[in-house]
Amino acid sequence: MTTRKITLLLVAAVIAIGTVIAVRNATRPAQQAAQVPVVQQTEVAAAARDLPTGTILKDSDVKWIPWPANTDGSDLFVKDKAKLSDISGAVVRDAINEGEPILPSHIVQPHDQGFLAAVLLPGMRAMSIALSPTAEVSGFIFPGDRVDVILTHSFSRKDVADLTERRISETILQNVRVLALDQRSDKDSNDPKVAGTATLEVSAKQAERLALAVDMSTQGGMNKGELSLVLRSLASGGPDKAPTPTWDSDISPAYPAVNGEDGLMQRVQVMRGKSTTEDTFERHR
């Protein structure tokens, strides 16, 4: 065998060995990757924004984030085992940062002991009122919303000729916060349920006004009126300028206007010496 043939054989052997080594190195990462176990993922409920203490949760305050499925999730709200509606309406006990998983210990559910104590602002009171089936915006008022309270009722006016009963609607409270409803709409349902009772956050004076409004609407159990909640915009500020009451005569000309500057009737006091009498006359326009 010549020297040239021996050299070619050695070169071929070196190339073959190098090829084998290169193939092994190329396939080793793939084999190692195949050996790495795949981590199963699930989703858990987390804060969609920073949630201060006292926040009443809505569906928009909560989001699902990825979470390892093989970890202990017994203290988390895990998707497929819980719904966002299970958390909606609860109040934040301890502040939660955006993206942080929500734990049951972080929140207080509406029917849990201490719910109202956790949600009430200092100096405020909680008061519940009964609502008529049409008085709650078709079921789309939720805890945390701001509302006005309107009293619509009827009463007797003996000073109006040939008409003893008058009807009036007036805003008695503005920009009060809804703390709880005995029922709330299910986001997965197209059939929202209307609450029969609403719990509102009010001041001491507002509580007195609300208690009197309830008495005026029932009038000894005769149900001569009703209380309605009017949903306010999220962008609205504080209370507006106090609106004037709306009388039945403002809606229908079939009712005579009430006494006053624009009324059909006018009271006149007549003083004769030390005696004073009062008469009612029809106003001519």
Question: What are 175's two structure tokens?
Answer: 């920009």
CA-based nearest residue to 129, from 108, 151, 154: 151
Q: Cα–Cα distance between 213 and 227 in angstroms, integer? A: 8
Q: What CA–CA distances, in Å, run from 211 to 105, 116, 216?
A: 35, 19, 9
Domains of the chain in sequence order: 43-115 (3.90.1210.10), 121-251 (no CATH)
Confidence (pLDDT) at 173: 94
- Tokens standing for residue 210: 């609300």
Distance CA 91, CA 119 (A): 6
Q: Which two tokens stand for residue 14?
A: 């070196």
In this prediction, residue 185 carries a pLDDT of 41
> Do residues 229 and 136 touch, judged by C-beta distance below 8 A?
yes
Q: For residue 243, what pLDDT is reported?
A: 80
Q: What pLDDT is attached to residue 186?
A: 45
Tokens 């609450």: give the residue.
195
Bridge partners of residue 281, in order along the sequence: 266
CA 180 – CA 136 distance, rounded (Å): 13
The answer to whether 53 and 94 are in contact (CB under 8 A) is: yes
Cβ atoms of 248 and 167 closer than 8 Å: yes
Per-residue pLDDT of 89-102, as tens digits, reads 888 888 899 999 99
Instruction: Single out the residue of 144, 135, 44 nearest to residue 84, CA to CA.
Output: 44
- Upper half-sphere CA count for residue 258 (Cβ side, 13 Å): 16
As a whole number of angstroms, the longest Cα–Cα distance in the chain is 157
pTM, whole model, 2 decimals?
0.60
Residues of the chain with pLDDT under 70: 1-14, 16, 18, 20, 22-23, 25-39, 72-73, 132-139, 157-164, 183-195, 220-223, 258-269, 278-285
Q: Are the C-beta atoms of 265 and 160 separated by less than 8 Å?
A: yes
The torsion defined by the Cα of 6, 12, 16 and 18, in degrees rounded to 10, comes to 100
What tokens does 209 get? Answer: 């006004």
C-alpha dist (Å) from residue 278 to 162, 266, 269: 19, 10, 4
Per-position b or e across 247-284, b if 16+ CB within 10 A of its CB:
bbbeeeeebbbbbeeebbbeeeeeeeeeeeeeeeeeee
Per-residue pLDDT at 206: 94
Question: What local confidence, expressed as pLDDT, does residue 39 receive?
Answer: 61
Rounded CA gap, 217 and 226, in Å? 5
Token pair recorded at residue 156:
């007797």
Which two structure tokens, joined as six digits, stand for 202? 């009010």
